[in-house]
Amino acid sequence: MEAKFKAVDFFCGGGGMTCGLRQAGVNVIAGVDFDKDCKNTYEINNPGASFVLADITKLPSNYFTKKFGLQKNDDNLIFIGCSPCQYYSIINTSKEKSQKSKDLLRDFRRFIRYYNPGYILVENVPGLETREDSVLPEFLSFLKKRKYTVKYRIINMHHYGVPQNRKRFSLIASRVNESIDLPIPDKKENYLMLRDVLGEKNGFRAIVAGNKDETDFMHTCAGLEGKNLERLKKTPHDGGTRLSWKDDLELQLPCYVGNDNSFVDVYGRMFWNKPASTITTKFYSISNGRFAHPNEDRGISLREGAVIQTFPRNYIFKTQCMGVAAKLIGNAVPPEYAKRLGEVIIKLADHG
């Protein structure tokens, strides 16, 4: 059966949002991104969706009509704008680089104005709503003037089938259905924990630091130099922290002497019975957060990070570079949450 809804995924990255919407039954026509590292991964996993390698600020408004035959005022058209968020992120990045990311919602708005799609989805870091200098109020005003019903809030994706604490700003808007709202969260007893997706019973054989998996499964993890391996060996299983070796003069890091309460998650192990920490683009490194395996002496593997992000196990990250794969995984909208957004739109249309 032909999908009723079609979508364009602006700032598509490696395809997390596209993947989830396709699972829901939406026909994603195209993904747009200016990062060439995304192209092969996006296309190989999302057949039928075209990857458009382009800077949105330079793309003509009528591009999608000329290239894909998109029409204006299509009630069944969904536009997705999950723009890069360095500017609003709590993680420090170069402000010059991040300044460009601040205004990408304005560029996305240009395409909304031109095509007037039936539905709009936006996902971003919470700072998009909380920072005083955010472009969000301007964007919301624009949508309301165009008669969109808009619902948004900061959600934790852990409440929506994603086994990690991942707080995000999520917006859904429609000009054709006033009953639109974000997905309903799971009941607390159904929240997924790390034990539900990782470990040998879930198909992850035990490996050592530096394991290289040449297959598409990519159960590959970073190597650890001597001292970091020693640190991890001294970190208790299932949630242990760097405080376990803070009095070891050989292992303690000078920057943490007397700083027991800051950055406690760094070098920490994940807990089996809790959600993972937010999967970032540096999740393969134990010095970048609580990214050590609960009981093996290593950081989590690329595939483990992808599964925590709810990518299907057969989703292929087409790169030889660990850093590039981690970027594609960490920057993604978890497909499970994207799927639920798609289901909301489809169900509403079926009952509307």
What DSSP string describes 7-31? EEEET-TTSHHHHHHHHHT-EEEEE
**Confidence band for 294, pLDDT divided at 50, 70 and 90:** very high
Residue 165 domain-assigned? yes
pLDDT at 103: 73
Residue 291 domain-assigned? no
- Domain with residue 19: its CATH number is 3.40.50.150
pTM of the model: 0.94
Q: At 299, is the secondary structure helix, strand, or coil?
A: strand
DSSP 294: S
Query: CA torsion sign, 233 to 276 to 41 to 33?
Result: negative
Residue 141 domain-assigned? yes
Q: Which residues contact 141 (CB under 8 A, 6 or more apart)?
A: none
pLDDT at 23: 98
- 1, pLDDT greater than 70: no
Which residues sit opposite 292 in a β-bridge?
269, 299
Residue 223 domain-assigned? no
Structure-model confidence comparison of residues 350 and 233, the more confident one: 233
| Residue-range definition of the domain harbouring residue 22 | 6-185+334-351
Question: 233 near 265, Cβ under 8 Å?
Answer: no
Which residues sit opposite 156 in a β-bridge?
167
- 99, pLDDT greater than 70: no
Kindly name the residue from 12, 19, 38, 85 that is annotated as catalytic.
85
- 260, pLDDT greater than 70: no
pLDDT at 95: 55
pLDDT per residue as tens digits for the range 23-54? 999 999 999 999 999 999 999 999 999 999 99
Question: 121 near 171, Cβ under 8 Å?
Answer: yes
- 4, pLDDT greater than 50: yes
Residue 159 domain-assigned? yes
Structure tokens belonging to residue 133: 């200098």
Strands (E), the chain: 6-10, 27-33, 50-53, 77-81, 119-124, 149-156, 167-174
Residue 194 domain-assigned? no
pLDDT at 98: 47
Residue among 17, 83, 113, 3 nearest 334 (CA): 17
- 350, pLDDT greater than 90: no
Residue 53 domain-assigned? yes
pLDDT at 352: 60
Structure-model confidence comparison of residues 312 and 131, the more confident one: 312
Other C-beta atoms lying within 10 Å of the C-beta of residue 36: 9
For the question of residue 12 being annotated catalytic, the response is no
Number of separate domains in the chain: 1
pLDDT at 114: 98
